[in-house]
Chain A
């Protein structure tokens, strides 16, 4: 359950200030598949960062699974991101010098899971995304679609209830994009909450509901 109440985010640079979000209230229920749409500069990314606990709102309240997020320290937020939220980025954001296996393992290392559990989970995830044979390869040796599947596997490493996808198909050809959307849809059917930012109406059509932003406010 994600509940945003009257969220405002103001960026200050010197004497200038920019209101990225102006009093946004959004409720996302458990197991929903939401897409967020809007033109550049409408505040989509800022909203995603706040939902993903990467950023904190200037004002307003954010309740995640009945916990207030506002008062948490950076390291407490890190723990929330680690266990409750999985990130999928447009440009994959895999560690370039680590293998596919090591990239997937990363969130579990920060959670302090032991070696055996990590091995089992990485194997399971690699099989699920069909890239077990590619486990020893670096991201540069993988295609875009393969990289995004590895990134998805990493997002799922600690089995988080929420997946945040920022333009997950933005850098992919349409076939790979469809594959990724198929996996996301499967994950939603399994009961995960999915929040996705996209420009693409066709991609947004996979979701149950679309939140449209304009100028830092919800328009629909």
Chain B
């Protein structure tokens, strides 16, 4: 039976090579489109997510502002002032915070030798490094000793390092920040960053201990707070806790919508994820339409094959084949064509992706990433291929199975 099956199939495929080639090309091209579009969508999503994580991962930014509600005798418009000590003490009062740092931001003159730049200086604590992905590529980030001793140590962005030092190694050298010498203890690892707040991107910033910052510049109140909830899904609840705590401590209404500006990147990340999922699905649907055309091709060719083999179907029915048997015979023939086309399509797209990888796209790669044939793409494509294959195979197979044996034998 298997022998006959494959001989039949092979015969149908080989007898009319042009017809076979055209039928297969529809499926091949469809599979090719689905794979390429899906892997492109996937890589763009991942590249964008990576850029987004350049600003930080799982963080909530809080910007103290002015009250917009009168509260307990205070008129509205009162400035909300938060000291760094208050910030450091928040986790003792509000549960669910993994990391937290106050942040001072200022624009200051940074110089080395004859080179001088007016860049952003941020006063932070060591927990900032993990939250904001300012990972040390050389040396280290600000540490606990820097904090307690108010050391004049600084950690600088990679672009600032190149601007100041050129080819020299920055770690261990002194720079002047507003004329005060600071020891460079580390340089940030290069990263992609597509979002930012208050000042320049991290690649051009200098980071110093907030203790040093406040004592040196007399800054009392932080420009913002940055924290990461322990359970990323509960960022809203933790933020409500922080706000309630600060409201009581500093004196503003916890119901005041604008006393604290909040940028919940987790919220943003969820929208971002949803958007890129929709984007990828959309591309997948476009690809599926192409594949659908291929499926229509298979269905119509199989109808012709059924028509040509009506007599054979009649004979089989006469000697005792069930309708189901006939159905399966033609259904599986269509599926084999779909699978064959799918395999060739996968092969071609794998080749195309490999070729694309070899092409240096430069900065373009930062935006679209490198499309690869990952399991998600493969599984989705196989599912789409099967769904279309089943429909495309069922239609002619049902026609075949409903053949009237008497009519068929009379032909």
Contacts and interface: CB of A to CB of B under 8 A. Distances in A.
Nearest to B8: A97
Contacts of B318: 52, 54, 81, 87, 93
A116 B6 CA distance: 21
Given A93-B315, A93-B318, A154-B319, A109 B1 contact: yes
Given A55-B406, A93-B409, A95-B312, A110 B322 contact: yes
A78 B321 contact: yes
B317 A78 contact: yes
B4 interface: yes
B320 A107 contact: yes
Interface string B368-411: 00000000000000000000000000000000000001100100
Main SS class of interface, B: helix
Interface in A65-118: 74-75, 78-79, 81-83, 87, 89, 93-98, 102, 106-107, 109-111
15 contacts: A49-B406, A52-B318, A54-B405, A54-B406, A74-B322, A79-B320, A87-B318, A93-B315, A93-B409, A95-B312, A95-B316, A98-B7, A106-B319, A110-B321, A110-B325
Interface of A: 49, 52, 54-55, 74-75, 78-79, 81-83, 87, 89, 93-98, 102, 106-107, 109-111, 154, 158
Interface string B1-41: 10110011001000000000000000000000000000000
Given A93-B311, A97-B8, A109-B1, A82 B405 contact: no
Contacts of A55: 406
In the complex, which range does the number of interface residues on chain B fall in?
Answer: 20 to 34
Nearest to B11: A97
Contacts of A52: 318
Given A54-B318, A54-B405, A55-B406, A97 B323 contact: no
A82 B405 CA distance: 14
Given A95-B312, A97-B7, A110 B409 contact: no
A78 B322 contact: yes
Given A54-B406, A93-B315, A102 B321 contact: no
B324 interface: yes
Contacts of A96: 312
Main SS class of interface, A: helix
A81 B320 contact: yes
Nearest to B12: A97
Contacts of A93: 311, 314-315, 318, 409
Given A49-B406, A54-B405, A95 B315 contact: yes
B4 to A, nearest CB: 6
Given A93-B311, A109-B1, A78 B320 contact: yes
A110 B319 contact: yes
A74 B195 CA distance: 69
A102 B321 CA distance: 15
B367 to A, nearest CB: 56
A158 B405 CA distance: 20
B320 to A, nearest CB: 2
Contacts of B323: 74-75, 78
B111 to A, nearest CB: 88
**Top 4 A-B pairs ranked by shortest CB distance?**
A82-B320, A110-B320, A107-B319, A75-B322
